[in-house]
Structure 1
C-alpha cells in the first residue's frame, strides 16, 4: 500500500518521522548494502524520478512502516524458547521476520524465474518482490493464502476518495475492490484496478489474472518493475523502479532496507504463520482482521441515472478533478506510424486532452493501448502505457517497437478514470527489406556440362548501409536479362528428392545479412546463364553462370617419351657421388 510522506495529507506524521529516522539508522548500522551494495552500487546516488505513468502502482495508498530488525536474519537453529519472546528479543525476532510464508516465497521465486526468461536484461531479484510485498501487505498478511496462492481474506487499502489519500474515482465498476465509487488498492501487492487493467498477469497458469492471487500479483509486480528498459542490477534503475511503485524517498529507503535484509538470508515458514506488521504510514494498526487493517468506511452505492450522488452529512463536496473536466482527446500532430519488422517506429504518438470548450487539460492520465493481431510493443515490452499530460495538455506515448508480425494494428488513447472520446491511431509494420545486394564470391561461377559448380553463390544484403538480416529472398534461373521467366535448361538446384528446380523461394538472410544459396548443378547445355536474386524491398542481383567444356590447353602435359624417361632415369642414377654430395 503506497503513500507519499511529503506530498499528501495524512495522519501520524510523528510516526512517519520516527520511521524515517529509524530507516536512516538502520541503513547506517545494519544494512551497508543500502548505501553501497555488494557490487559497489550506490543506493541513493543517481536516484531518478519515476516516470509519470501512474500515481504509483498502488495509487499512493498507505503502506506498512515496520522496519527489519537490527540482528541477523538467519533463522535460530537452537531449541525453541519455552515461551514467546518479547518484541525486543533480537535473535528470535530476527528469525521470525526473515521467515517468508512458503506459498508467497514460491510466488516471488517463480516470478523471478519467468522474468529471467522473458526480460533477462532486467535482472529482477526475488528479494525485491519480497521487500515490496512486506511493505505493501506483510507478505499477504503472514501468508493468509491457500495452496493455489489465493488470499483467504480480501486485502484492501482505503478507498481513494481524496480524503487524506489520492483521489481516484472508480475505474473497474467494483470488479476487484467491490467499490463502485472510488478505487482501492487490491491484493498482496496492492495494485489499484486501473493499474491492474494493463499490468495484470497470470502467474499460476489458470487462465485468470487475479490481483488477489499471490502468483499473479508477484508476476505483475515483476513486470511493472521491469518496464522502461530498467536494469535492476544498476542501482539507479532499481531506485527508479521502486519510486515508480510509490514516488517517495522514505518508501524507497524502507523497501531497500527490507531488500538488503532478505538478501542476507531468508527461510520458508508455513503459510499463515508469518509475522504481521504493526504500523502503517497513515497511523493505523496493521494487526486487525479483514482488509489488511484498512479503515472501515460506510458502504457506498452507485446512484441510478438521474439521481443525485449520495452524500455523507458533514462531508464537504469535492471539487471536480482535472479528469472530470476532460471531454475528449485530440491528436497532437502524430505523424504516420510505419516501421519495418524488428525496428523501432521513428515517430511517437502525441495526444492532447481538451474540455468541451477546447481548453487544454494538464495532469490527466492518458492510457495508450495496443489493439490488434500484432506483437508490437511499447518500449519495455508492454502493450499498454499510461502517461500524464503536461502543462500543454499533451501526453506523448513511449516509443513503439515493431515485432516480427507484419500488417496493421491500432493504438487506442483513452482517459483513465473517465468515459470520454478517445483517439485511435493506425500503425503498420512492413516486412524486413534490403535495398542492396552484393556478390560475395570473388571468382566467377563456372562448371562443365553435367557437372557441379564448385562454389555456392553467396550474396550480402544491406538496407541504408546497415546489415539487413531476416530478409526474405527469391533466387531464379531466368531466361535473359529482359525475360525474367524461369529458364528450362542450363544450371539448376536440386529439391529434397534430388530433382532439378530453377526457382527457390522462402530464402532468408542470416544475422549477418548473408544469403548462401544451395549447390548449383549443370545439365549438358553449354553457354552463359543468368541467376537473379531478389529481396523484399526491391534489391536485385544478377549473377552470370558459365557452363563450358573443359579447355584442352589447361589439361596436364602428356608424359614424355619412354626413351626420354629412360634417359632421365639413367642420368639421375649415373652420378651417385654427386647425389651424395648434394
Structure 2
C-alpha cells in the first residue's frame, strides 16, 4: 500500500486507530489467493476487470460501479460494543460506527434471506453488503432514506468522463444519473446505469427496480456478487466478487476491514443518524500545478503562445466500428432443460475489418424466456481476445419453448447489435419400454391387478418431464379411441379411454392409472406416445366371466320324475272305468 494512500487515510485525531485498522485489512489481504483481479491500485486508473488477465471469466462486467471513487475511512480499533440499552447510550467511537440505520440494515438482511433461497451456494453474509454499502455511500449517507428505502436526495458518483476516472459514455440517456453525455454511479450501492440495466432487482416488491432504493440496490448487489457461482464462504470466491464490484486492491482491503468489523457485532440506529465518511479515494486525484521555473522574462508586449492541448489516444472501444458473427453460431438449438452445445461468439472490428482486442461485448437474452447463461443470469459481458472475439458463456435452456434472441452489443458504444436466434424445443423421448413383463389380464367386469408403467429414454439417456398421451385404440391400424373394452376412470368415476397431459417423472418413468374392464371379452391395445415420437403399444386381455345359469340339483330331478305310486293309481282308475263301461253295455243288450 503506497505512502500516499496511507497519507490520505490518516484522519486527524485518529492516527493510531487507523493504523490498527489497516493491519486488519492487511491481514484480510494476506488470506487472499495468489491470483488477483488485476491488482489495480485506486479507482481512477480507468482499468476495468474485463481488461485484466484474471478477469477472463466470461460474466465479468468490468465493475458494478465503473470503478468509481469510494470512501476510504476505516473502522476504529476497538471492537463494536453490544447494542445500547434503553438506559445507556453508546460509548466511544466503536459503538457509533457499528450502528447501521434501521431501514438500511433491514434491506441488507432481507437481501441475505432472499439469496439464501435463490442462490444457497453463494453463502452471502449481510455483513458483506453492509461493508460495501459503507464504502460506497456511508450506508446511504447515514440512512438518509424514506420509510420505503428510497434515498431522500440522490447519491451520484463523479462524471465518468475519463478525467481521473473511467471513461464511460452515457448508456441510459440520463434516466438514472441525469447525465446524457457520460455515466455516473447511482444510489446507495453505486451502480453505473449500464450495469443496473441488467443487474437491477425489485427488493421491496413495489413493481420497480430503482437504484436509489436501498432494498432494490442491496438485492441487486447481492445477485451481482453471487454470479459466476462465486461462494462467499471461500476466500477466493469473496475476493473475486469484491474485486468485480470495484477492481482495486485498496478497495478490497477497505471492504474486508469493514466486513470483519461488522462481523464482530453491530446494532440498529435510527435512520438519518449514521456516521457519514469523509475521506474518498479520489481526494488526491487532482495534482497541483507545478510553478514555472524562473528564467529570462519574456519580451514585453509579446504574448506567450498557449500550449496546444494533447488529444487523448483513442481507447480500443473507440476504434470499434461494428460487430460480426464469429462464425460458429449459425444454428443454436437445445431441448428444454438441456445446455446448448454451441456458444455465441462475436468479433469486434474496425471500419477496415481489423480485430479489436480488450473491448467489452455484452450478451443479453431478449424476450419472455427462462433461457439463461451458465449461473442463471440473462446478461453476460466478455472481453474480446487478441483475435477480437468474445465468446459468451454456455446457454442453458429453460422450460419455455420457442425461438428467442441473444443480442451482442459493445459496452460504452452505440453501434448496431448482432442478434442470434436460440431455439428451445420441447423435451422429447425416442424410446419407450415397460418396466415389467407380466401379462396384463382381467376378467370381464373386473379391474386389472397391475398398473401399466413405462420408462422413456432419449438417445439412451433418461427422458424426464416428457409429455405423453395414452389411448385405448380400436386396432393396430386404427389409432382412434375404442368404444368398448378396458377403460380408465376420470375424477367423477366415468369411463375414459384417452389420457392427455401425462408426463414422465425425474427418472423418465410414467405410471398410468388403474385400468378397468367392461363386460366385453377380447384382446385390446393400449398405445402410449410421447413428444419426440416414441410409441409403445401394450396388449390387454379380457376373459369372459363364468356362466350365470346354475346346474340342476338331485332333488329337483327326483321331484319332476313320475313316481311309482302315481303310476299305479292312474292304472287302477283306468281299469275301473273300463269295467264300468263293459257292464253298462251288457245291460243294454
TM-score range, shorter chain: 0.7 to 0.9
Q: Retained in 1: the 8 A contact 2:61–2:380?
A: no
1:202 and 1:314 mapped to 2: Cα distance? 49
Quick check: 469-478 or 373-382, which moved more?
A: 373-382
2:416 counterpart of 1:445: no
Q: Which residue of 2 aligns with 1:495?
A: 490
**Normalising by structure 2, what TM-score?**
0.80
CA distance in 2, matches of 1:389, 1:372: 25
Residue 142 of structure 1 aligns to a residue whose secondary structure is helix
- Post-superposition Cα deviations, 1:92-114, rounded to whole Å, max 9, x if no partner, equal 11111110011111111111122
SS in structure 1 of the partner of residue 538 of structure 2: strand
Partner residue, 1:92: 92
Establish whether residue 15 from structure 1 lines up as the match of residue 22 from structure 2. Answer: no
What is the alpha-carbon distance in structure 2 between the residues aligned to residue 363 and residue 45 of structure 1? 23
Please state whether the residue corresponding to 2:250 is helix, strand or coil.
helix
1:61 matched to 2:68: yes
Pair 1:330 & 2:324 matched: yes
Other structure's SS at 2:110 match: helix
Displacement of 1:521 after TM fit?
0.7
**Which aligned pairs between 1:515-526 and structure 2 lie closer than 5 A?**
515-526=510-521
Distance in 2 separating the partners of 1:475 and 1:233? 49
Q: Which moved more, 1:405-414 or 1:483-492?
A: 483-492
User: Structure 1 stretch 319-328 or stretch 542-551: which is displaced more?
Assistant: 542-551
Counterparts of 1:121-136 in structure 2 under 5 Å?
121-136=121-136
Q: What is the CA-CA distance between 1:228 and the residue it aligns to?
A: 1.4
The TM-score, its normalising length taken from structure 1, stands at 0.80
Instruction: Tell me how far apart the structure 2 counterparts of residues 453 and 475 of structure 1 sit (CA, whole Å).
Output: 16
Alignment of 1:466-545 (within 5 A): 466-545=461-540
Q: CA deviation at 1:452?
A: 0.2
In 2, Cα distance between equivalents of 1:202 and 1:76: 30
Shift of 1:422: 1.5
CA deviation vs aligned residue, 1:400-423 (integer Å, no higher than 9, x gap): 111111111111111122221211
What is residue 139 of structure 1 aligned with on the other side?
139
Asked if 1:353 corresponds to 2:345, the answer is no
Cα distance in 2, alignment partners of residues 313 and 219 from structure 1: 50
- Cα distance in 2 for partners of 1:15, 1:452 equals 89
d(CA) in 2 for partners of 1:415, 1:28: 41
Give, in angstroms, the shift of residue 191 of structure 1.
Answer: 0.8
The answer to whether the Cα contact below 8 Å between 2:201 and 2:217 also exists between their aligned partners in 1 is yes
- Secondary structure of 2:94's aligned partner: helix
Aligned positions of 1:148-163 closer than 5 A:
148-163=148-163
Give the C-alpha shift of residue 43 in structure 1.
4.7
Q: Equivalent of 1:546, from 541, 550, 562?
A: 541
Equivalent-residue separation in structure 2 for 1:316 and 1:177 (angstroms): 29
Q: Is the 8 A contact 1:185 1:192 kept in 2?
A: yes
Distance 1:315 1:208 in 2: 45
Q: Is the CA contact 1:75–1:96 (under 8 Å) kept in the aligned structure 2? A: no
Q: What is the root-mean-square deviation of aligned Cα atoms in Å?
A: 3.0
- C-alpha distance in 2 between matches for 1:423 and 1:111: 35
Quote the residue 2:359 is aligned against: 364
Give yes or no for contact 2:440–2:539 (8 Å, CA) kept in 1. yes
1:13 positional shift: 4.2
Distance in 2 (CA, whole Å) between partners of 1:548 and 1:484 is 23
Answer whether contact 1:142 1:275 (CA < 8 A) is retained.
yes
The 1-side partners of 2:184 and 2:130 are apart by 22
* Distance change (3 Å), C-alpha of 1:138 and 1:356: same
C-alpha distance in structure 2 between counterparts of 1:30 and 1:370, whole Å: 39
Residue 359 (structure 2) pairs with residue 397 (structure 1): no
Contact 1:23 1:254 in 2 (8 A): no
SS of the equivalent of 1:226 reads helix
Check whether the contact 1:30–1:70 (CA below 8 A) recurs between aligned residues.
no
Q: Among residues 314, 331, 336, which one is paired with 1:341 in the alignment?
A: 336
| Distance of 1:501 and 1:129 partners within structure 2 | 58
Show the counterpart of 1:75. Answer: 82
Are positions 1:418 and 2:410 aligned together? no
More displaced stretch, 316-325 vs 513-522: 316-325
Rate the CA distance shift 1:313–1:208 in 2: closer, same or farther, 3 A.
farther
* Other-structure match for 1:567: none
1:255 CA drift (Å):
1.4
Q: Is the 8 A contact 1:531 1:544 kept in 2?
A: yes
Whichever of the two has the greater Rg, that structure is: 2
In 2, the alpha carbon distance for the partners of 1:67 and 1:321 equals 35
Alignment of 1:95-494 (within 5 A): 95-283=95-283, 316-335=310-329, 336-494=331-489
Q: Compared with structure 1, are the counterparts of its residues 156 and 344 closer, same or farther at alpha carbon in structure 2 (3 Å cutoff)? A: same
Question: Is the contact between residue 31 and residue 260 of structure 1 (CA under 8 Å) also seen in structure 2?
Answer: no
Greater mean deviation of Cα atoms: 415-424 or 71-80: 71-80
Deviations, residues 196-242 of structure 1 (Å, cap 9, x unaligned): 11111222222222211111111111111111122322332222111
Could you tell me how far 1:424 is from its partner in structure 2?
Answer: 0.7
Q: For 2:178 and 2:420, how far apart are their aligned partners in 1? A: 34
Q: Which runs of 5+ in 1 are unaligned?
A: 37-41, 86-90, 286-293, 296-311, 553-582
SS at match of 2:220: helix
Would you say how many aligned residue pairs link Structure 1 and Structure 2?
505
Q: Distance in 1 between matches of 2:215 and 2:145?
A: 11
Shift of 1:372: 1.9
Counterparts of 1:419 and 1:330 in 2: how far apart (Å)?
15
